[in-house]
Amino acid sequence: SAAEKGGYDYFMLKEIAEQPKAVADTLLGRIDLAGNLCLDEVRIPASVLREVSKVVIVACGTAYHAGMIAKYAIEHWTRIPCETELASEFRYRDPILDQRTLVIAISQSGETMDTLMALRHAREQGAKVLAICNTNGSTIPRESDAVLYTHAGPEVAVASTKAFLTQLVACYLVALYLGQVRGTKWGDEILSVIRELSEIATQVDQVLETMEPVRELARTLADKNTVLFLGRHVGYPVALEGALKLKELAYMHAEGFAAGELKHGPIALIEQDVPVVVVVPSPRGRSVLHDKIVSNIQEIRARGARTIVIAERGDEAVGPYADHLIEIPATPTLLQPLVATVPLQVFACELATARGNEVDQPRNLAKSVTVE
Ligand code: G6P
């Protein structure tokens, strides 16, 4: 009913708008005033976490994209090798696991069959399993050694939005916690990122307040056949998520690529006026990432692409090559997906509406896939 949708036309719009609160709720009580992480609910003892030799993340769909981003954070802050794999691929390829492997299963519903089968297999091999889940008492957390709940609240729209942002928050918390427990040389950076993370809901809110031009742009693209998405580093999974949202909702051909792969194929797809969304890392921080993507934008624009650039506010280098510039607030490099994904959700939702599609119930898709 209209009341359930809180005055919004679709659950998806409501859930997009709820993201600052979902993010804040997922952080609540997990960072104290002194900036320490309080994750007692991760009931795997610190002594066990110190011995972990490998982290394996398994998930499906949008949760898999959260897991891809988590890999960058975990390897950087903890120096533990981490791999992220689609649960359906992981389960049936005889993966190497032992008692020192920490498996993280990410699932909004807690009922996705492929993810469940993957974690059962991991536990049979002696691995410890930590679930990141949004649904209290669902099967995946019940069968795991520990669970970190995301507090997104019920997500009704089939296409995941607020659950994704809270999965990212949970992943960052786990990565920072593992880094602290193990005492890496990134201690100071970890402390400053914890501080920035506790402010991030405000930045998500700022993004939401500036989305009207994104909606206008989306409406002008309703008759396009293809939209491409490019990103590097954590912007690469963001590009994949932007493309997934567009497929799910607008039924358009959409593909995400690692920007560094352009010359290995995707650049052949660039022709006059094809929209290409580029996620640009902060020009501060790891500036080499930024310089490389600026030259990627120049390359595709020289071939006629219509560039839609998502960049940090004040990033002057990208302006001249952006047909459309979508500005996002400054964040630490690894946290950028929390703000960079939001315009892509809005973009896909608006394009779906412009094409006359049912936003909350896209054709052929289910909210939770409980068969393999
Ligand atoms: C389905 C949903 C997606 C979701 C995926 C994984 O495909 O449509 O939105 O990302 O399942 O679901 P889970 O509940 O495990 O996060």
Cα 255 to middle of ligand 1, angstroms:
18
> Given a cut of 90, is residue 188 above it in pLDDT?
no
Residue 284 CA to ligand 1 centre (angstroms): 34
Amino acid at 104: I
* pLDDT tens per residue across span 195-248: 999 999 999 999 999 999 999 999 999 999 999 999 999 999 999 999 999 999
Q: What is the mean pLDDT of residues 57-80?
A: 97
Q: Could you give the angle at the alpha carbon of 247 between the alpha carbons of 244 and 252, nearest 5°? A: 140
Point out the ligand 1 atom lying closest to the alpha carbon of residue 60: 6
Q: How confident is the model at residue 350 (pLDDT cuts 50, 70, 90)?
A: very high
**pLDDT tens, 105-134?**
999 999 999 999 999 999 999 999 999 999
- How far is the C-alpha of 321 from the C-alpha of 352, rounded, in Å? 27
| Pocket flag, ligand 1, residue 345 (CB < 6 Å) | no
Structure confidence at residue 45 (pLDDT): 87
Least confident of 140-144, 185-189, 354-358: 185-189
What's the pLDDT score for residue 187? 78
Q: Is the CB of 107 under 6 A from ligand 1?
A: yes
CA trace torsion 65, 67, 73, 78 (10° rounding): -170
Position 32 scores a pLDDT of 87
Considering only residues 372 and 313, tell me which one the structure prediction assigns the higher pLDDT.
Answer: 313
Q: Is the CB of 297 under 6 A from ligand 1?
A: no
Residue 210: which residues within 8 A CB-CB, separation 6 or more? Answer: 327
Average pLDDT, the chain: 95
Ligand 1 atom with least separation from CA of 61 = 10
Question: Quick one: which of 345, 282, 344 has its CA closest to 313?
Answer: 282
Identify whether the C-beta of residue 156 lies closer than 8 Å to the C-beta of residue 11.
yes
pLDDT exceeds cutoff 90 at 172: yes
Q: How far is the CA of 368 from the centre of ligand 1 (A)?
A: 5
State if residue 112 touches ligand 1 by the CB under 6 angstroms criterion: yes
The whole-number pLDDT of residue 40 equals 85
Chain segment 242-289, per-residue pLDDT in tens: 999 999 999 999 999 999 999 999 999 999 999 999 999 999 877 888
| pLDDT attached to residue 330 | 95
Q: Can you tell me the distance from the alpha carbon of 354 to that of 351, in angstroms, rounded to the nearest whole number?
A: 5
Closest CA to 330 of 283, 288, 292, 295: 283
The response to whether residue 108 sits with its C-beta less than 6 Å from ligand 1 reads yes
List active site positions. 367
Give residue 35 CA to ligand 1 midpoint distance, Å: 32
Residue closest by Cα to atom 3 of ligand 1: 61
308 contacts 275 by C-beta, under 8 angstroms: yes
Ligand 1: which residue has its CA nearest to atom 7?
61
Find the 229 Cα to ligand 1 centroid distance in Å. 21
180: Cβ below 6 Å to ligand 1?
no
Confirm or reject: Cβ of 369 under 6 Å from ligand 1: yes
The amino acid at 281: P
What's the pLDDT score for residue 83? Answer: 98
pTM to 2 decimal places? 0.97
